[in-house]
Amino acid sequence: MEPLIEPYAPHHLDAIVRLSLRAWAPVFESLKNVMDGEVYGEFFPDWRVTQQRAVEDVCADEQTRVWVAVIAGEAVGFVAVRLHQADRMGEIYMLAVDPDAQGRGVGGALTAFALDRMREAGMAVAMVETGGDPGHAPARHTYEQQGFRLFPVARYFKKL
């Protein structure tokens, strides 16, 4: 079943937070396995608290546009988009799909919807950032299916 994609409203917040934390649990487990343990601990002393706050902040940010994917009256995913007018670049800033809805095209539908909104806003380029670890593989797959191409970046961390 295709999701209905609707503008975010405050009544969506609790469902979005819950589905995000469920969706990102494997990602943070993967990060824990690939990062230096001390660095991981500095970045993510309690990732659930940090991520809940990040979702709440992005939903409240007036500069960010947020849409929610709904199936059978339930929020199953969301996407947050930021427009960088000076660069004419749209950014998929945050995206999550409930694990129970993953593999059914919801992430692709949200990504395609976000790209359409970027085009309508006059953006010339779209950008999304995600991890290179195994936990982010489904996200990379979704973005590549939508035509994104990898721009290699090397980012190093060291505990001081």
Q: What are the C-alpha distances in Å from 14 to residues 20, 103, 109, 125, 137? A: 10, 23, 22, 32, 26
Kindly state whether residue 154 falls inside one of the protein's structural domains: no
Asked whether residue 109 is domain-assigned, the answer is yes
Residue 100 lies in a domain: yes
φ, ψ for residue 115, nearest 5 deg: -60, -40
pTM, 2 dp: 0.92
Instruction: Supply the range of the domain harboring residue 87.
Output: 4-145
Q: How many domains does the chain have?
A: 1
The answer to the question of residue 30 being in a domain is yes
How far apart (Å, rounded) are the C-alpha atoms in residues 109 and 60? 23
- Which CATH number belongs to the domain containing residue 67 in this structure? 3.40.630.30
Residue 152 lies in a domain: no
pLDDT tens digits along 49-66:
999 999 999 999 999 999
At 65-77, the pLDDT tens digits run: 999 999 999 999 9
Q: Report the chain's mean pLDDT, rounded to a whole number.
A: 95
